[in-house]
Amino acid sequence: MKLVKINRLLNPLYLLIIISIGAVLRFYKLDWGEGYFFHPDEYHLTISVNQLSYPSQMHPHLFSYGSFPVYLIYFTKLIFNLETSPFLIGRFYSALFSTLTIVVIYKISLELFKERKNYAYLSTFFVAITPGLIQQAHFSTPESNLTFFLMITLLLLIKWFEKDKLKYYLASASSLGVAAGTKIVATTFLPLALLSPFIKVLEIKGLLRKIFALIKSYFSSSIFILITFLSFFIVFPYAILDFKGLRSSMNYEFAVASGKQIVFYNRAFIGTKPILFQLTKILPYALGIPLLIFGIAGFLIMSIHLVDDSINKRRINSILLAILSSFLFFFLPNALLYAKWTRFIAPTFPFFSIFAAYAFYQLFLKSQNSPIISLFLKALAILLMVSTSVWTLSFWSIYSHQDSRISATGWINKNIPKNSYILTETGNTLEAPLTGEYTKIPFDFYNLDERYELKNELVDHLVKSDYFIIQSRRIFINHQNQPYQFPLTSRFYDLLFSEQLGFEKIQECNSYPQLSIGHLSFVIPDELAEETWSVFDHPVIRVYKKVNPKEALEYEKLLEI
């Protein structure tokens, strides 16, 4: 009895420790980048905030994201009279909403695991240390806000399934409206929300009661749509007031996301396979391989149990249905797109923590009569926690280092003479060196194969240049992977790396995830992940020096121009 009382006293402490760990991981070094705009979406969000003036001008002129994060940042600055840059306020809210998501996942896990709080703590701990969520919390982008409101929507729907109180259903409508006003992709949750009342009808016996329940379901769904729309309109009014602008933006965004329009920043996905790409290039980095494996196992186990309950027990496990369907409704439409950016599936990262905990929950249930297997599973759970923590701390280390573009600038200013002619790559918000008295030429390699005049310009710059700087993996990896589609660009980098262009690498500035223990340091190169995993907050800068000058004709011959 005393042990039970002690556990009850310690339970809030366990949760507080987990939340504190998650908060530290998210709020630490929110000012990374030292004020530079290295993330293009942060730049666009800042422009939108800066053009607002209450009450005369409240149109953000931004439709790729909803207005909720823009208004949240703007009114925070206005009410508290802050001089802080909008993108720093945005990062604060990203970290805050990401931390609050930890609490929401705990609440969802309690509904799933009932009195078995150990598993709720396990899933909550995994969410607290998920690298992908920690990274999104360091960006002034909508993904952390979106994830929070989607998880709140899921929690309220689960509570409505369990308690059958309309207030939870209507509250979930309000939450979903704000989520859609953060990013319209949140509407992928609508099918689950609108079908939920009708799913409950399946469990009702008697024809008259079913008919009455169906009428009530139509009414509930109609009210849900109305509340969702009103919440959406409040936080994203110009989606309606300037519907033409919204439609134009959505048409462009969908064309880019679906691959109908190939632009320089979506070339990385040419020839990639849906699902397989996420499983190899996003999730192993955003979750860590061990958590991904157990997450997939938990997803499969949960799916089997849902089907088994529906067929053999003639009942629908509403909690499992809500969790699985909300995950699939969001994950599949985004994963099957041509463009497979990490942020597209970021709101699904918390589900893998729930799935992993569920896998252990079921495995422990099956092994209750076997002390040896139970002991093995406990050791396995600890191993998963430790291995995921190691990867998390390794990734987190990038924020304790100086940004690679800034450190590269410092090195360049010390080691490259003033007035040097530096050829580099375009397509970034900023290019290293960020300062210095140099002739810096950001060259358009993206259109090198299509525009003839660029070929002559490249030769001219190669003749004049003293140095060449690679800004990230974005151009050379994407184009070397497609030599038939981009033969000249691919050949340029092949020649550069083999030193046939007369340049040799003299410096590499990186901020790879690493874990240092005493004098030992374990570095984990992650440049082969989906490009936005690294190019915004820890790209690798490579500096090449011309050591063997060549004439224009020699370059033309080498490049086969």
Sketch the domain layout of the chain as residue ranges: 2-399, 404-559
Work out the average pLDDT over 167-184.
Answer: 98
The average confidence (pLDDT) of the chain is 96
**With 60 as the cut, is the pLDDT of residue 2 above it?**
no
- DSSP annotation of 262 reads -
pLDDT in tens, 24-35: 999 999 999 999
How high is the pLDDT of residue 521? Answer: 86
CB atoms inside a 10 Å sphere around CB 469 = 22
**With 90 as the cut, is the pLDDT of residue 200 above it?**
no
CA quadruple 267, 272, 277, 278: dihedral sign = positive
Report which of 381, 407, 388 is spatially closest to residue 508, judged by C-alpha positions. 407
Nearest-angstrom CA–CA distance, 106 and 353: 11
Nearest-angstrom CA–CA distance, 141 and 70: 10
Beta carbons of 365 and 553 less than 8 angstroms apart = no
Work out the average pLDDT over 145-174.
Answer: 96
Single pTM value for the model: 0.96
One-letter amino acid for residue 401 of the chain: H
The residues facing 484 across adjacent strands are none
Burial class (CB in 10 A: 0-12, 13-18, 19+), 134: buried
Count CA atoms closer than 13 A to 418's CA, side-chain side.
2
How high is the pLDDT of residue 22? Answer: 99
How high is the pLDDT of residue 164? Answer: 87
The residues facing 516 across adjacent strands are 521
Nearest-angstrom CA–CA distance, 362 and 382: 16
**With 60 as the cut, is the pLDDT of residue 4 above it?**
no
How high is the pLDDT of residue 518? Answer: 80
How high is the pLDDT of residue 103? Answer: 99
Bridge pairing between strands 467-470 and 421-425:
parallel
Beta carbons of 407 and 396 less than 8 angstroms apart = no
**With 90 as the cut, is the pLDDT of residue 21 above it?**
yes
**With 80 as the cut, is the pLDDT of residue 455 above it?**
yes
pLDDT in tens, 533-542: 999 999 999 9
Conformation bin of residue 341: beta by default, left when phi > 0, alpha when psi is -120 to 50? beta
**With 80 as the cut, is the pLDDT of residue 8 above it?**
no
Report which of 168, 240, 171 is spatially closest to residue 200, judged by C-alpha positions. 168
Percent residues over pLDDT 90 in the chain: 89
How high is the pLDDT of residue 6? Answer: 64
Report which of 290, 341, 298 is spatially closest to residue 534, judged by C-alpha positions. 341
In the structure, what pLDDT confidence band is assigned to residue 135 with cuts at 50, 70 and 90? very high
In the structure, what pLDDT confidence band is assigned to residue 3 with cuts at 50, 70 and 90? low
Question: CA-CA distances (angstroms) from residue 111 to 125, 282, 300, 340, 370?
Answer: 16, 29, 20, 32, 27
Nearest-angstrom CA–CA distance, 268 and 518: 38
**Start-end of H helices in 313-370:** 318-335, 342-345, 349-366
CB atoms inside a 10 Å sphere around CB 6 = 10
Beta carbons of 421 and 23 less than 8 angstroms apart = no
Contacting residues for 509 by C-beta, under 8 A, at least 6 apart: 404, 405, 407, 408, 411, 432, 540, 541, 543
Q: Which two tokens stand for residue 249?
A: 């933006």
Burial class (CB in 10 A: 0-12, 13-18, 19+), 291: buried
**With 70 as the cut, is the pLDDT of residue 9 above it?**
no
Report which of 265, 254, 231 is spatially closest to residue 67, judged by C-alpha positions. 231
Q: Which two tokens stand for residue 517?
A: 């223990």
In the structure, what pLDDT confidence band is assigned to residue 81 with cuts at 50, 70 and 90? very high
CB atoms inside a 10 Å sphere around CB 69 = 31
Report which of 273, 86, 268, 67 is spatially closest to residue 179, judged by C-alpha positions. 67
